[in-house]
Amino acid sequence: MLITSHDVARFAGVSQATVSRALRGDSRVSAATQDRVRRAAEALNYVPSEAGRSLSTRTTRRIGVLVSDLTNPFYPHLIGPLHDELERCGYRMMLLAERSDDALVTEQLLDHSIDGAVLTTTSTGSGLPDALRRKQLPFVFLNRVDGRDGVDGRNGADAAVVDNERGGRIAAAELAELGHRATGLLGGSDDTSTGREREQGFVAGLADAGIVLPDNRIRRGPYDFDTGYFGLSELLAADPSITAVFCGNDVVAIGAYNAALRAGVRIPDELTLVGFDDLPMASWEAFALTTIRYDLRAMARAAARLLLERLSGEAPDSAQRVVVDPELVRRGTHAPPLTAREER
Amino acid sequence: MLITSHDVARFAGVSQATVSRALRGDSRVSAATQDRVRRAAEALNYVPSEAGRSLSTRTTRRIGVLVSDLTNPFYPHLIGPLHDELERCGYRMMLLAERSDDALVTEQLLDHSIDGAVLTTTSTGSGLPDALRRKQLPFVFLNRVDGRDGVDGRNGADAAVVDNERGGRIAAAELAELGHRATGLLGGSDDTSTGREREQGFVAGLADAGIVLPDNRIRRGPYDFDTGYFGLSELLAADPSITAVFCGNDVVAIGAYNAALRAGVRIPDELTLVGFDDLPMASWEAFALTTIRYDLRAMARAAARLLLERLSGEAPDSAQRVVVDPELVRRGTHAPPLTAREER
DNA sequence: TCTCAGTGTGTATACGTATGCATTACAGCA
DNA sequence: TGCTGTAATGCATACGTATACACACTGAGA
């Protein structure tokens, strides 16, 4: 039923070992034999068994990718390029959902069905990175880190991230420049490195301009539509004087945009909105979102490269970190505050 | 370095076979021994090797999922529920991109690294389904089928789809009812079953109302933003009298919506737009898209169930097909044509 | 002619788990 | 006591590939 290398060997009149060597292009096998084996394999439609190979080589050429919620528009843009880069390097992607049930995920990661892992949605409280370190499963942080590194050298792990702090500063500088003083923040959860760093950068950037961000102008939540949608209403209810809001990412910003539409708040006249990520939908006419852009594809590719380098042993002992640069892209959701314009 | 069942056996003072049996809960192993083995495994942090198990059982509990483009917002909504249902049943998901390079994909599917496959983006010309049938790899169509079935009983394959033809009819009926006569179509590619069937249903539904759909009011393309965005401009340029457009899916419709915004065409006053799928973004205030809704999650779950039933041998010999029902959801992108309103 | 290096191939085994079959121990019964 | 049946466990092997090592053969050099 199942064609094995033994069948090919019999067909080609050689030993199973020779089949294995011939098909892998081992130079010790004569060209003539390689040819004969190749033709035999072709004739029998032979496909090497992945399980046998894994067992023998202790390697799977599979990478596990942990994501929390695929239907969040952000992740596909991360996973897509990651998948392509892995495939380009001969690796396959096993998609795993990060759920409350850590034990199951951990077991799936550690049963040697993958050579390494990419963690895209680590929260700072998670025990998973430490578990992987203990079990010596190579992994790389993508997008978020667990915030443990720096405390202790051994805890470092490879990571590909954007300079979130800088992104926050850029947004703050732009708002200050426009003349906004009453700014709000619809931030990511503060158990994510991205949420914390973007907020830190934003607060610091405002401070540079002599602006303080009081707690009642801050709402935080998961990076989803609802956080923006309901968060904006709450924010404006708590402090109607707010003229500009920096959002944790584009998905949150688009949630906020839609809440503004619903409430009849005109954008950008009455409210300035700035996002983060520059997803394709940010450039749609319907939103024309002013946002912080960075090269998401490059970031994903860097993560793949870091991990594969580590697997191949080419990587240095110390953890490597790729940080991509953010920049502001101005579209249609920013303007000076009304008051400033009236003063002119 | 690597802990195996032999290590556990030594530690617990039993044979490797007993370890295997005990951990799988074989009733022939006494309760006391099971306990001892479990504690030993725990103490050593034993995790059974997936490769060894696969080789021995000829089963992987992995399912390959083929998708063409993850960054298209439609697919995550298909993949997400699919992943969760597979995981609930103890299966893992291997994500494979369907690319031009069929040979590579085929090899990845046939190397026994997966027990079965889910095909989400089959085009009618693809040779892949036949290849899988020949190699007896169980698979299920999700969303699209290859259109070969019916020709010949053996070609049938399990499938979970929406009643596309009916969806097209519903859209046509609604547009006719509203009084539109000059209708356009921004359809999916005609090498997809969904594209063909939705178009057939739409044309038939229009015909029922005495309306014909000439070729110059039709544009087709991949189910993406650009097809809607550029397609609408082309359509209106070719025939400015068009008052309503049925779109192949929501992503296309949103592309069209944004093109209308750009061109200053007021929706729904000057142009009615109807989508298909009812993705979450269709209900965003910015679009409030009138569309054809169906239970995408249920469809994805059905595909998982069909495949897993087939794997377990519970499925009947003949192919099974789950068809979910579409319905119209009226939001803000439909209205009677201007001419009809002026006549009142 | 003998040795030696080099080349090409085969033999044997490892990888880790699952399972058919054999074996042991022991209880129940005649 | 001896026999049978059953419960619990061990032994041996299969699964398919990769590879260390052994071996055979060839031609060259002494």
For B50, the closest of A95, A112, A259 (CB atoms) is: A112
Q: How far is the CA of A29 from the C1' of C2 (A)?
A: 29
* Domains of chain B from N-terminus onward: 5-57 (1.10.260.40), 62-163+295-313 (3.40.50.2300), 164-293+328-343 (3.40.50.2300)
The distance (Å) linking the CA of A22 with the C1' of C2 is: 35
Give start and end residues of each alpha helix (H) in chain B. Answer: 5-12, 16-23, 31-44, 50-57, 74-88, 102-110, 128-134, 164-178, 193-208, 225-238, 250-263, 296-312, 338-343
Chain B partners of A70 at a C-beta cutoff of 8 Å? 76, 79-80, 83
Task: Identify the pLDDT of residue A105.
Answer: 85
Long-range contacts of A144-150 (CB under 8 A, 24+ apart): A144/A119, A144/A120, A144/A192, A144/A193, A144/A194, A145/A193, A146/A119, A146/A122, A146/A193, A147/A193, A147/A196, A149/A319
Q: Establish whether the linkage from the previous residue to A268 is cis, with ω within 30° of 0.
A: yes
| Burial grade of B178 (CB within 10 A; 0-12, 13-18, 19 or more) | middle
pLDDT tens by residue, A290-325: 999 999 999 999 999 999 999 998 888 899 999 999
Q: What is the pLDDT of residues A167-185, one digit of tens each?
A: 999 999 999 999 999 999 9
Stretch among A51-55, A148-152, A326-330, B303-307 having the lowest mean pLDDT: A148-152
Residues from chain A contacting residue B265 (CB–CB below 8 Å): none
Mutate to test the interface with B, among A44, A63, A88, A95 (most CBs of B within 10 A): A95
Q: How far is A69 from chain B (nearest CA, A)?
A: 7
Instruction: Choose the closest CB to A111 out of B48, B113, B254.
Output: B48
pLDDT tens digits, B75-103:
999 999 999 999 999 999 999 987 766 77
Q: Lowest mean pLDDT: which of A73-82, B143-152, B157-166? A: B143-152
A206 sits in which H/E element? helix A193-208
Task: Report the pLDDT averaged over residues A151-155.
Answer: 48
pLDDT at A225: 97
Q: B44 contacts in A (CB within 8 Å)?
A: none
The answer on pLDDT for A51 being more than 60 is: yes
B6 closest-nt by C1' vs CA: C16
- Residue B342 pLDDT exceeds 60: no
* Predicted confidence (pLDDT) per residue in B232-249, tens digit: 999 999 999 999 999 999
Nucleic strand C under 7 Å from the C-beta of B53: yes
Q: What is the pLDDT of residue A153?
A: 45
The pLDDT, as a whole number, for residue B105 is 85
Quick check: A286 and B112 CB within 8 A?
no
